[in-house]
């Protein structure tokens, strides 16, 4: 009987300890229900309301001990003033905070989907003390609301680590990056470096690459690829090196013999002409009488003026549309494609799939399609995106100068051995 009594006492003591623990925890845990109920809808996002308790003592220069942090993302039709107003700040403070922010940051550039943080005190009033908008992995806007609102634009430090990566092509370069846990942007970077030496639309299964590069970090989180120091791409059994080297103050890529990996386009597809309309994001169309982007450059010239391809390539499209008239598209490599519109006629023998050489006549100026007069509408695409043909970057194509060649060879010898040693 005594044992039974002792067991009952133990149960009572254990139960009491558990209840006391629950009560203490309820007092210690920050109260997340102190926010004004009318404002709580601003915290409903695709990632729900996130109250972050962090072991990090500081972020954005803010000591976290006295705050809990609510993360959210910019929604459609929201601007800075709207977001601040929804937190319960009075109009006067919102106006001052917005004006001060506009003096250090273009608040019209606040982007849909970007994250912002709200820093509330952990007392019963849950007062907002800081607002931070993350514009990019490194750039942010911070508003201090402790006294008179003050705004500043900050930038986080980028830390770089040198890394090496390798991969063997099974389907595509992009998929190979993903399969080897490499940032897929590396596929774009390599295609730009080897644009003139490797046909990335014709890769073979078993082609492989090795690369030495910088990986960039902010707060220990990888944010992208920095410089690519060297690469080795084996395509159709041929080993192709690329080494970053500075000559005449310009960084470019050269092979193991010091020859540039770049080629140069012709400056213009016509020899006798003048520019009548430039690349524009909003141009009044001369026939349709509406504003719309003009993704090319118009060269005014008499009907029948020869049109030349700006570089070696393959004809990938040829035909007629109501707007472009007679047109030709030429793929120069895995990065660049050029287009030629409003032609009066084509050069003899031009057909889809045909290889053409730089400076070869492919057609003649006309006014077919939507055209007020004879001209060539010339377009260039880089990785599928229309770019201004007059602003194509033209890295140096001359080789390493003879007097610099010994220094160049000495600088790449060790890197070359490191690349070959990678598995």
Whether residue 2 has pLDDT greater than 90:
no
Residue 233 tokens, joined: 């791409």
Confidence of residue 51 (pLDDT cuts 50, 70, 90): very low
Query: Tell me, what's the pLDDT at 129?
Result: 93
Higher pLDDT, residue 64 or 181:
181
b/e burial code for range 339-370 (CB count within 10 A of at least 16 → b): bbbbbbebbeebeeeeebeeebebbbbbebbb
Query: Tell me, what's the pLDDT at 41?
Result: 41
Mean pLDDT over residues 63-84, rounded? 90
Query: Tell me, what's the pLDDT at 84?
Result: 93
The pLDDT mean for the chain works out to: 83
Higher pLDDT, residue 300 or 276:
300
Query: Tell me, what's the pLDDT at 202?
Result: 77
**Cβ(175)–Cβ(226) below 8 Å:** no
Whether residue 201 has pLDDT greater than 80:
no
pTM of the shown model:
0.63
Query: Tell me, what's the pLDDT at 371?
Result: 83
Confidence of residue 13 (pLDDT cuts 50, 70, 90): low
Whether residue 420 has pLDDT greater than 50:
yes
Query: Tell me, what's the pLDDT at 16?
Result: 54
Query: Tell me, what's the pLDDT at 61?
Result: 87
E strand intervals along 82-158 = 115-121, 128-134, 139-144, 150-155
Higher pLDDT, residue 285 or 280:
280
Q: What is the percentage of the chain residues whose pLDDT exceeds 70?
A: 82
Domains and CATH numbers, the chain: 37-155 (3.10.450.350), 159-254 (3.10.450.350), 274-391 (2.70.70.10)
Higher pLDDT, residue 250 or 49:
250
Q: How many residues would you count in the chain?
A: 423
Name the 3-class secondary structure at 191: helix
Whether residue 231 has pLDDT greater than 60:
yes
Whether residue 12 has pLDDT greater than 60:
no
Mean pLDDT over residues 390-410, rounded? 85
Higher pLDDT, residue 171 or 1:
171
Whether residue 192 has pLDDT greater than 80:
yes
The DSSP call for residue 241 is E
115-137 pLDDT per residue, tens: 999 999 988 888 899 999 999 99
Mean pLDDT over residues 309-337, rounded? 93
Q: How far is CA 335 from the centre of its chain?
A: 16
Number of H helices, E strands in the chain: 6, 25
Distance CA 310, CA 374 (A): 20
Confidence of residue 53 (pLDDT cuts 50, 70, 90): very low
CA 177, 183, 185, 190 torsion: positive or negative? negative
Confidence of residue 151 (pLDDT cuts 50, 70, 90): very high
Q: Which helix (H) or strand (E) segment is 217 a member of?
A: strand 208-218
Query: Tell me, what's the pLDDT at 337?
Result: 94
């Amino acid at each position: 009987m005594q044992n039974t009594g002792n067991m009952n006492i133990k149960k009572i003591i254990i139960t009491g300890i558990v209840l006391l623990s629950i009560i203490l925890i309820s007092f210690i845990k920050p109260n997340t229900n102190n926010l004004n109920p009318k404002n709580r809808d601003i915290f409903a996002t695709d990632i729900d309301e996130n109250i972050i308790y962090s072991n990090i003592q500081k972020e954005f220069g803010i000591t976290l001990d006295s705050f809990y942090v609510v993360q959210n993302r910019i929604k459609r039709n929201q601007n800075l003033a709207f977001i601040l107003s929804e937190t319960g700040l009075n109009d006067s403070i919102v106006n001052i905070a917005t004006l001060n922010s506009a003096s250090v940051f273009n608040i019209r550039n606040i982007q849909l989907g970007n994250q912002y943080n709200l820093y509330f005190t952990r007392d019963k009033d849950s007062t907002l003390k800081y607002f931070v908008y993350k514009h990019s992995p490194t750039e942010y806007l911070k508003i201090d609301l402790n006294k008179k609102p003050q705004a500043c634009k900050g930038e986080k430090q980028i830390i770089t680590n040198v890394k090496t990566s390798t991969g063997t092509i099974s389907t595509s370069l992009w998929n190979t990056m993903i399969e080897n846990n490499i940032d897929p942007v590396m596929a774009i970077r390599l295609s730009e470096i080897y644009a003139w030496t490797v046909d990335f639309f014709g890769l073979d299964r078993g082609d492989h690459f090795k690369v030495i590069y910088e990986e960039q970090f902010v707060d220990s989180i990888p944010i992208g690829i920095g410089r690519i120091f060297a690469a080795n791409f084996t395509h159709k059994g041929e080993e192709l090196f690329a080494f970053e080297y500075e000559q005449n103050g310009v960084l470019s890529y050269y092979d193991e013999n010091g020859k540039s990996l770049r080629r140069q386009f012709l400056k213009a597809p016509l020899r006798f002409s003048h520019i009548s309309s430039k690349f524009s994001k909003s141009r009044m169309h001369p026939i349709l009488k509406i504003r719309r982007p003009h993704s090319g450059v118009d060269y005014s010239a008499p009907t029948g003026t020869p049109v030349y391809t700006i570089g070696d390539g393959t004809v990938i499209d040829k035909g007629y549309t109501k707007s472009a008239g007679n047109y030709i598209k030429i793929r120069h490599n895995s990065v660049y494609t050029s287009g030629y519109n409003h032609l009066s006629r084509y050069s003899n023998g031009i057909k889809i799939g045909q290889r053409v050489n730089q400076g070869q006549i492919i057609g003649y100026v006309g006014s077919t399609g939507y055209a007020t007069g004879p001209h060539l509408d010339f377009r260039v695409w880089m990785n599928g995106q229309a770019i201004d043909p007059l602003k194509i970057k033209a890295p140096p194509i001359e080789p390493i100068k003879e007097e610099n060649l010994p220094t160049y060879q000495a600088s790449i010898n060790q890197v070359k051995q490191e690349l070959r040693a990678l598995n």
